[in-house]
Amino acid sequence: TLYQALLSAVHVNGGKSIVAEDPEFKPLPYKRLVTGSIVLGDKIANRTEKGENVGVLLPNSVGAIVTFFALQAYGRVPAMLNFSAGAQALASACKTAQLKTVLTSRRFVELGRLEEIIDEIAKHAEIVYLEDIKAQIGFMDKIDGLLANPAKMHRKLDIKPSDPAIILFTSGSEGM
């Protein structure tokens, strides 16, 4: 699975190696990516079902990477939504992918002036803000994430490499 590939990359590169950096120049080491995926993934898993398609409406950032792997860790299928597609196209994407939940960020919505898009998506799926999930993460959640065995946890979910891993949409030029 993609998550198993991430864990293999940690083994090869080391947990302190930087895997990504976003426009805000926040370096993301592998260890923090894995720990974040476990902690955030657990909170998302409480709201969703294994195998469920979950919308991701985020900028290209460290937060998006952690969210993507949080979904992967717990067997959820991220449906990557491109905010530049417009409200109608995103509503159509939500229907097509049968999304019940879309993860986004208040800060992203505000900075991008995406309120109209969010209002349209909200007609088809529940909007969940990562800031709200972050507020629910306590000290013990972080300790549990640090002490977790990600490989064992992921293996217990019996996710197969042949299971759906991600939903990507085209520009829409081919229609629905």
Q: Among the residues of the chain, which ranges form H helices?
A: 2-13, 30-45, 62-73, 87-96, 106-112, 115-121, 130-136, 139-147, 150-156
The per-residue pLDDT for range 65-99, each reduced to its tens digit, is: 999 999 999 999 999 999 888 898 899 999 999 99
With 90 as the cut, is the pLDDT of residue 141 above it? yes
Hey, what are 135's tokens? 């507020």
- pTM of the predicted model as reported, rounded to 2 decimal places: 0.92
Residues composing the chain: 176
Which letter does DSSP use for residue 100 in this model?
S
The confidence score (pLDDT) of residue 173 equals 56
